[in-house]
Structure 1
């Protein structure tokens, strides 16, 4: 991607370029340095890890293809709003990529706030303010104990590579279920039953004989925007 801003969700299953680049990107970053009084030295400051970076984007979603629109694909203004709201409601981080002339950011981020309104004097354009916060994936590390020459040593396994995909949701099969019925109930679209079949590696012969109590993984729910 050249100069611009790209937002995506669930390992780029969904995403878009911001159609109109903001005049500036607001970046806020602080630290948790703690001050202490030490006898004989006076006041000292203990440096700690920096806080998570916060980003503010103020721009608008255009209702028409203005000359200054930089995105190759232009969506309806409300489609952008629908995407962002759906990602926010998923309670899962998005991917924020910004490439400028002097700065580059590529990070997982949580949506902290999103305000939007129809732009005065430009029917259909939607002004917005989007605030993101850097997100760090985390998980507990499992220690292992090794014995060498009678002395026990404790080591921690290396952290796994962060995975920004939304964990798959599941459904437990009950009497009378079919893949079409499950797709209709859980995804809102019965025609997506083949996606469930493929995701769970169900053969054509097994489609008509689902086992009661069987747990099925479900694909991501897609929205109406874009």
Structure 2
């Protein structure tokens, strides 16, 4: 059974969490295999590379943070905020990172989603009689990064042909991780794990590392046990 479930978008350094989880989350994997008819053999199938995954889900953007199912009470945004973000992602002509975290009562689920996607299309519908709530549906497609390496050439002083002297590298820069972090307005454990540990899925590790302090703050509240508060000092490792 899933205890904690969250859907996040990360784009150009900004991470947002969708305020209400969908009832269904669909990942479709199509086939690009080809079939041919051969004389005396009949139909055969030629296996091709796996195509891009397609992801779709629909939910509601609530206009009231006091709904019991709202997941972003500490950083509540009205529907227009998310509608603007969806349009921004679409207009940017750039991929956005989709992260889905799943936490069971027994521990972290082994079915985690963390991929680059493009917004293929979306629909937003204002709900009559629901005090400003908006229903929406999103259709996403997996994005695979591609490109060519840039080579630097230097002509030889001899009669031989030019030779390669340098290849540019995209090796990531190592980030020094501090020992502690003070919670700021708008922070969640997932955001802290992403920004400080470079991996949002490590929010469970942060919780376990600071369990006593976090549980003490959340005692006698209806908040998620992973809720953190401004001013809390968390250990990062």
- Aligned-partner SS, 1:122: coil
Q: Does 1:107 align with 2:109?
A: no
1:4 positional shift? 0.8
1 CA distance for matches of 2:16 and 2:22? Answer: 15
Report the secondary structure of 1:3's partner residue.
strand
Does 2:20 correspond to 1:20? Answer: yes
Cα distance, 1:118 vs. partner? Answer: 1.2
1:163-202 superposed matches below 5 A: none
Q: CA deviation at 1:38?
A: 3.4
Distance 1:99 1:158 in 2: 35
Separation in 2, partners of 1:87, 1:24: 22
Runs of 4+ in structure 1 over 3 Å off: 38-41, 141-144, 157-162
Following superposition, the deviation at residue 125 of structure 1 comes to: 0.7
Task: Give the structure, 1 or 2, with the largest relative contact order (CA under 8 Å, sep 6 or more).
Answer: 1
Shift of 1:121: 2.1
Match of 2:83 in 1: 81
Could you tell me how far 1:61 is from its partner in structure 2? Answer: 0.7
SS in 2 for 1:75: coil
**TM-score of the superposed pair, with normalisation by structure 2:** 0.56
Change (3 A) 1:55 1:70: same
| Correspondence 1:139-158 to 2 at 5 A | 139-141=147-149
Q: Which TM-score applies when normalising by structure 1? A: 0.59
Deviation for aligned residue 1:44:
1.3
Structure-2 residue corresponding to 1:135: 143
Flag structure 2 segments of 5+ consecutive residues without an equivalent.
103-108, 153-166, 173-237
For residues 135 and 119 of structure 1, do their structure 2 counterparts lie closer, same or farther at Cα, with a shift above 3 Å needed? same
The residue number in structure 2 matching 1:119 is 127
Instruction: Indicate if the aligned counterparts of 2:97 and 2:115 stay in contact, CA closer than 8 A.
Output: yes
Higher helix share: 2
Query: What is the count of residue pairs matched by the alignment?
Result: 149
Structure 1 gaps, min length 5: 145-156, 163-226
Structure-1 separation of matches of 2:77 and 2:31: 39
Question: Residues 38 and 143 from structure 1, CA distance in 2 versus in 1: closer, same or farther, beyond 3 angstroms?
Answer: farther
SS at match of 1:79: helix
For residues 74-125 of structure 1, the C-alpha deviation after alignment (integer angstroms, 9 at most, x for no partner) is 2011011111111211111111011235632101110011111211221111
Q: Note the C-alpha offset of 1:160.
A: 4.7
Distance (Å, rounded) in 1 between the aligned partners of 2:14 and 2:83: 13
* 1:70 is aligned to 2:71: yes
SS in 1 for 2:80: helix
* Alpha-carbon offset, residue 143 of structure 1: 8.2
> Cα RMSD (Å) of the superposition?
2.8
